[in-house]
Amino acid sequence: MQPVHLCVNGLETDVEVHPLETLLHTLRDRIGLNGTKEGCGTGYCGACTVLVDGDAVNACLLLAVDADRKEVVTIEGLAGDAGALHPVQAAFVENGGLQCGFCTPGMILSAASLLAATPDPSDDEIRAGISGNLCRCTGYQSIVASVHDAARRLRESGRSGERPGPRAHIRSRA
Amino acid sequence: MSAGSIGTVRPRSDARAKVTGTAVYTADVIPDDPLAGVVLRSPHAFARILSVDTARAAAMPGVRAVVYSGNVPAKPLDFGIKDQHLFPIDFARYRGEPVAAVAADTETQARAAAKAIDIVYEVMDPVTNIEQALAPGAQLVHPAWKSYEHSGERILRENVCAVNRIRRGDVDAALANAAVVVTSRFTFSGGLPGYLEPRAAVAQAGPDGTLTVWCGSQAPYSNRTEMAEFFELAPAKVRFINQFVGGAFGGKILMAPEWFAAALALRCDRPVRMAWSRHEDNLNAAPRHGGTATFTSCADADGTLRAMRASFAFDTGAYIGYGGGSALIATMLASAPYRIPNLDLEATLVYTNKQVAGPVRAPGGPQANFAKELHLDEIARKLGIDPLEFRLKNAWREGDESPSGQRLTSVSVVDVLQKAADAIGWDKPRASGSGRGIGATWWFSSCGLSEARVEVLTDGRVRVISGNPEIGTGSAAQALPIIVADALGIDPLGVEVVLADTGDSAEDGGVHGSTSTFSAGQAAGAAAAEARARLLDRAESLLEARHDDLDVRDGCVYVVGAPDSKATFAQLAAHGDEPVIGRGTAPEMGDPEIDNDLVQAHGFAAWPAASFTATAAEVTVDKETGRVDVLHIATAQDVGFAFNPAGVTGQIEGGAVQGLGWALTEGLVYDGAVLRDPDFKHYLLPTAVDAPRITAMIVECPSVEGPRGMKGVGEPPVTTPAAAIGNAIRDACGAVPHDTPMTPERVWRALQK
C-alpha cells in the first residue's frame, strides 16, 4: 500500500492505495464518492470522467498514485454551497439532457471542462468536446442543447471561463 | 378540474439526483460487511462437462460459499422450452457461460478460488453459425432436445427451437403472373443492448427464510416470483429492491448476477455483492439477434404489391431465453404496414454455441424493417417509381387487415410517411454524393399487470408508489408525476416517486413491450383519482361543503366561490385516523380478433392499439472510401396521445441513434464461436460526433384501446433508422450492402459490384 495525498472536491484527503489501483476505485471504494460511475473500466465510455487539475480524465485509466498531490473534482464537488446546482447541472435538468443518468456525471464534467476552455462553443465543438462520453439513451441532441444552455447560463452569471469545482481551496503544487 | 400537466414538458423528478451524483445504482449499494461474489465462466464454446470438483476451491482462504450445478436445484428454467439450467449440467454451450460462482471475503480471494474449481471438460467443435446449424447431419447444440418439455404447439427440429408462420392467399400463383419479381437476401449482425451500467446485484439471506435482492431490473416482480419458485421460498419472503437502472434496452429483463448472488447468499450469513465488469457483461448481454432473411415479392407495373414470401432465420445462441419474440415479431413486420394480399412469412430460431440472444429494444424490429424496406426499394427502383410514392400507394388505410387478419383502426401510415419525408425535404434537389431514404413500420401496445398507490402524507407531500422500474425512459420518474399531479392539481415536481420494491406490494409486470406509461400510467392515474376523492371526503367534513362545491389545486382543497375557505393537503392528511391513500390498477386490454387459420405456431399475432412510425434519413457517401455520414434523421411516430411529450421525444431521439449504431458500426464479430471484442474497443456505440441532427415528430392519431387514445412508445423509433439509412445510401451512390453493420468496407464492396 502506498500513501496518496489528494485534494478531492476541495478537501485535503490522505488515503492508502494499492500501487496498481485506479483513481476510480480510490474515489468509489476508499473515499465513498459513488457519483463517479464505472461503465467499462477500459477508457471507452467516459462514465468515470472526473476533473484532475481542471482536465477531464477517465478515472479508470489513471492510477491513484499518479494523482498524488493533485486536485480532483468529482460530480459531488460541482454544486455550490447549500446545494445550488452548477449552471451546467441546472442546464441538464431544464433541457432534459439525461435519461438513465449513468453517463450524466461524466458527461457534465466533460461539458464543464469544455466550457471552461471554450465559453461559447459551436455545435461541432460541443459534440467533439463530449465525444469521449457515450450516452446510449438520449441520442445526444438534448445533451448538446443542454451544453449550449449551460454556456449561456455561465455567461449570464459572469462565470464564463471559470474553472469548475470548489473555489476555496486551490493549492500551490509542490 | 385538472392542473393541465398532462401533455406538457416538465423536468424529470430524478434529474437533480442524477446531475449531482446522488442517484443510487446497484453497484453503489454497499451493505455492511459484504462478501464478494464472482462467476466462473466456461472457457470453451462447446464442451461436455465430465466432472466438477469444488473441494479445493471451498477450502481456500476467505471462501464462504461455492455454488455449481451439483448444489443448486437441478430443475430447468422455463422459457417456453426447458432447455437451460442455472448452471449447465451436461454441456457448457457458449464461451463465457457461468458454470459456478464463489463468495469470499475479498474479490481477490473469490477470483483465486474460482480458478481453483476443477472442471474436466471434453472440448467439442462448436456450432458457430446458422448455416452450419441447419446443415444436414449438423452437430446438435442440444443432443437431448427431443426430451425437453415445452409449452404449446411448438415446431422443433434439429438445432431449431421455434418456427413461426403467417400465410394468406396464394403466393406462388401471384409470383407466376407478376409484372416484376424481386428477390433480396440479407444478413444481420447481433447487437449489444449497450446500456452504460454493467449488471450488478446484492443479495442477503435472513435467518427467517427471507431473501433480499438489490438490483437494477426491468421486471423485479416477475424476477422475484421466478427466484422464489426456483429456490422453493415463499414469494412473500423474497424481496427485490430496484435501484436506479443505468439503461437496460431489454437486456435487464432476465436475471443474471441476481441468480448467482442469491444462490451464494443462501449459503452465507453475510450479504453477497456481485458487480460484473463490462467484459463479463458483454459475454452475457442477451444481444439483439443476428440472422438472415430472404425476400421474394412481386408487383404490378403500376406499383401495386401482389405477393411476398419472406423467410428469417435468427441465431438464438445456446438457449432460447427470451428470444422467441424476435422471430414472432419479424413475421408481423415483414410485409407491414403495406397492403399485400398474398403472404408467406416464416421465421426460424436456431441454436448455435454463442451467448444467448435476448429481447433487445424492439426485438426483431430493426432486422425485419431493414430487410423489408431495402427490398421494397428494390421493387420500386425496378418499376421506376419514387420510393415514397410507392409506399404511399401501398400503405395500409383505415380498416385494412393485418397479415394475421386483424382489422386495423386509427391507421396513420400515410401521415407518418409524409411527415418524415417532408422533414428531410424529400422533393428537394439532391446534392452530389448525398441521398435520402425512408422506411415505415407498425408496432403493438401492451397493457400489463400494474398497480399503484398514491399517498398524501401529513406534511403535505404526495408520493406515488409503482412497481414500474425507472430504467431511464422516464416512464416512472417523469410520466407518473405528470399524471398524478394532473389529478391532484399540483406541480409534477411536487410528486415523489418511490422506486420499484416488491416489498411495497404495488405489483407490476415490468418495463418491456412499450408498456410502461400505458399500464403504470393508467394505474397511477386511477390511484391519483381515488386519492383526490379521499381528500374531498375529508374536506367535506373539515370545510362543511359538498364534493361538487370543492376544487383541488396548488396543494389545497378550496370551496368554490369562497377562496378563504380552504384546507391544505397536510391538514387533510392529518384530519383522520388513516393516511390518505388512493389505489389503482391498470385495466385489462383485450386482444383484437385475428384469423387463426392464417397463423401457425404463432403466439403473438394480435396487436392491440397498433402504432405507426416512419423514419427518413439523409446521408452522404464517399465513394472512394465507403464512408457514410448521416446528416439528418427524421422520425414521425404516432403515439396516439402523448402524456409526456418530452419523454416521447427522448425515445425518438435515442432510438434514432441506437438504430444508426446498429446500421453502421455495431457488429458482434465472432472468431468461430468466440466473441472477438467483449469490451467497447471495436464494438462502436455512436458518439456525439456520429449522431446526426434528429427531427422528432409526435403524431397523435388516438387508438381505440389506449388511455386517451395512447399507443405504446418506447420501441418503434429504434426499428426504422437502419432501413432509412440503407435506402439513403443506395440513393446517394447506387449501391448498398445487404448486411449490417453497413461498414465503409461493405459499402465500398457493394459499389464495386
Cβ contact, residue pair A76, B20, below 8 Å: yes
Q: B650: which chain A residues are within 8 Å (Cβ-Cβ)?
A: 96, 99, 137-138, 142
| pLDDT of B609 | 97
- Can you tell me the distance from the alpha carbon of B51 to that of B70, in angstroms, rounded to the nearest whole number? 10
Q: A51: which chain B residues are within 8 Å (Cβ-Cβ)?
A: none
Residue B247 has its nearest CB partner, among A85, A94, A102, at A102
| pLDDT of B513 | 87
Q: A45: which chain B residues are within 8 Å (Cβ-Cβ)?
A: 196, 278, 680, 685
Contact predicate A143/A97, CB 8 Å: yes
pLDDT tens track for B163-191: 999 999 999 999 999 999 999 999 999 99
Cβ contact, residue pair A33, B21, below 8 Å: yes
- Can you tell me the distance from the alpha carbon of A166 to that of B367, in angstroms, rounded to the nearest whole number? 49
Cβ contact, residue pair A35, B658, below 8 Å: no
Sequential DSSP letters for B328-358: HHHHHHTTTTB--SEEEEEEEEEE-SSPPP-
How many angstroms separate the CA of residue A173 from the nearest CA in chain B? 28
Cβ contact, residue pair A35, B21, below 8 Å: yes
Kind of pairing, strands B160-168 and B342-351?
antiparallel
Cβ neighbour number for residue A15 with a 10 Å cutoff: 17
Q: B658: which chain A residues are within 8 Å (Cβ-Cβ)?
A: 136, 139
Cβ contact, residue pair B12, A96, below 8 Å: yes
Cis preceding linkage at A3, omega within 30 = no
Q: A130: which chain B residues are within 8 Å (Cβ-Cβ)?
A: 688
Closest-approach residue (CA) in chain B for A102: B246
Of residues B461, B542, B541, B563, the one with CA closest to residue B551 = B563
pLDDT tens track for B196-229: 999 999 999 999 999 999 999 999 999 999 999 9
Q: B655: which chain A residues are within 8 Å (Cβ-Cβ)?
A: 139
pTM over 0.95: yes
Mutation target for A interface from B20, B683, B718: give the one with most A CBs within 10 A.
B20
Closest-approach residue (CA) in chain B for A34: B28
pLDDT band, residue B426 (cuts 50/70/90) = very high
Sequential DSSP letters for B624-677: TTTEEEEEEEEEEEE-SS-SSHHHHHHHHHHHHHHHHHHHHT----EETTEES-
- Can you tell me the distance from the alpha carbon of B21 to that of B712, in angstroms, rounded to the nearest whole number? 31
- Can you tell me the distance from the alpha carbon of B748 to that of B744, in angstroms, rounded to the nearest whole number? 6
| pLDDT of B182 | 98
pLDDT tens track for A59-86: 999 999 999 999 999 999 999 878 899 9
Which ipTM did the prediction report?
A: 0.97
| pLDDT of A82 | 80
Q: B248: which chain A residues are within 8 Å (Cβ-Cβ)?
A: 100
How many angstroms separate the CA of residue B160 from the nearest CA in chain A? 33
Q: What percent of chain A has pLDDT over 90?
A: 90
- Can you tell me the distance from the alpha carbon of B469 to that of B219, in angstroms, rounded to the nearest whole number? 7
Cβ contact, residue pair A137, B654, below 8 Å: yes
| pLDDT of A167 | 60
Cβ contact, residue pair B278, A42, below 8 Å: yes
Q: A135: which chain B residues are within 8 Å (Cβ-Cβ)?
A: 196, 688
pLDDT tens track for B308-360: 999 999 999 999 998 889 999 999 999 999 999 999 999 999 999 999 999 99
Q: Nine-digit cell at B711?
A: 399507443
For chain B, counts of helices (H) and of strands (E) = 18, 29
Q: Is the pLDDT confidence value at A130 over 50?
A: yes
Q: What is the mean pLDDT of chain A?
A: 94
Mutation target for B interface from A22, A109, A140, A142: give the one with most B CBs within 10 A.
A140
| pLDDT of B258 | 98
Contact predicate B662/B720, CB 8 Å: no
